[in-house]
Chains A and B, each alone.
Chain A
Amino acid sequence: MESQHPFLQWYGGAVAFATSLMGCRENARDVVQQALYKSLSARRVPIDEAAQKVWFYKVVRNLCINGLQQERRMQRTVDADALAAAYVDSDEPYERSERIAWVRQGLAKLTPEQREIVVLRDVNDLSYDDLAEVLGIQRGTVMSRLHRARMALRDHLIRIEANAGGVTHAN
């Protein structure tokens, strides 16, 4: 068996990121497979690992944008409930806490722009420089956009939590 390809270490994170954009686990898998295929067959790939990571996430993002544009042509839009469900791993070992379900719902309520930056930072651990490179924005914009996204997620979480609390009290 040959040694693991460096790109494979980002597979899980990349699927999570692609799910955030595509709103569907299966499509996200397809996109990441395609990205891996492209990375393996590309002739000019950056040599050091940090640059490879940025490059790989860029490929994934571009493929997601392509896929979304195609779906938009077919009049399909990403639905928040479906997206929250798409985050659930099919072979999750045990029932996650309520809080995790809320985080998924909150993430699904963000705008795609906010969702991608939060997921890239907090799940995939990209640095601010890498984020600027992958998203094609100024480094100065990264911090403010990220902070706004986090605050939006926090607001959604507070609202979801309040709703859930209200329901349990009513019961």
Chain B
Amino acid sequence: MQTEQQPCAVAEELSGYLDNELSQQEQQRVMIHLRNCPHCQQLLTEMQAMRTDMKVAVHVSADTRDLPQILGDKPARWLGLLGWSALILGVLLVASFFFWELAVDLVTNASIPWWVRFGIAGLYLGLLGLFLMVLRQRLVAMKTDKYRKVKL
């Protein structure tokens, strides 16, 4: 009766014992306790049975119909990669050509006063800087795990 009312000191460690996750010392302690505590012995057998039942109750066999769908995505991935690299290459080429022309024009074109040319250069450099800042922030946000503290 007393053991029913008062939980044993090893109660929690019984789970660890079942899962084989205790240190050798703890394991020995639980083993010794189990020898003279029918209540915990009973609990351990019940937990073992529960575990076996749960495996049967919950496990899903991999559905073969799902697999081709999953593996079929490989070519799409390659095409995506190819598309993205072509796009980035194109944008880089066009942008560098544009900036080169702009820079040459700003340096050599004497018909516009120097301070206007200076202003235009500042405008473009500023926009570029802001874009890079946002890009960096986004990349950092993408890499940080936002699920750490989520409560279900």
Contacts and interface: CB of A to CB of B under 8 A. Distances in A.
Given A2-B71, A16-B58, A104-B57, A150 B50 contact: yes
A65 B12 contact: no
Contact of B58 (A104, A113, A154): A104
Contact of A37 (B13, B50, B70): B70
B19 to A, nearest CB: 7
A15 B67 CA distance: 13
B21 A128 contact: yes
B143 to A, nearest CB: 10
Contact of B15 (A12, A20, A101, A147): A147
Residue of A8, A13, A118, A123 ringed by the most chain B CB atoms within 10 A: A123
A99 interface: yes
B73 A37 contact: yes
Interface in B17-57: 19, 21, 46-47, 50-51, 53-57
B62 interface: yes
A21 B50 contact: no
- Label chain A's interface by main secondary structure: helix
Residue of B15, B60, B71, B147 ringed by the most chain A CB atoms within 10 A: B60
B152 A100 contact: no
A33 interface: yes
Contacts of A2: 71
A5 interface: yes
Nearest to B7: A151
Interface residues of B, number: 35
A87 B61 CA distance: 12
Given A13-B59, A103-B53, A112-B152, A8 B21 contact: no
25 contacts: A2-B71, A8-B67, A11-B62, A11-B66, A12-B60, A12-B61, A19-B60, A21-B152, A41-B73, A61-B147, A65-B147, A96-B57, A100-B53, A103-B54, A104-B57, A116-B152, A121-B19, A122-B51, A123-B55, A123-B58, A143-B15, A146-B19, A147-B12, A150-B15, A150-B50
Interface of B: 11-16, 19, 21, 46-47, 50-51, 53-62, 66-67, 69-71, 73-74, 77, 147-150, 152
Given A36-B70, A41-B77, A122-B54, 18 more contacts: A8-B67, A12-B59, A16-B58, A19-B60, A37-B70, A99-B53, A103-B57, A104-B57, A107-B58, A112-B152, A121-B19, A123-B54, A136-B147, A144-B12, A146-B15, A147-B14, A147-B16, A150-B15
Interface of A: 2, 5, 8, 11-13, 15-16, 19-21, 29, 33, 36-37, 40-41, 58, 61-62, 65, 68, 87, 89, 96, 99-101, 103-104, 107, 111-113, 116, 118-119, 121-123, 127-128, 136, 143-144, 146-147, 150, 153-154, 157
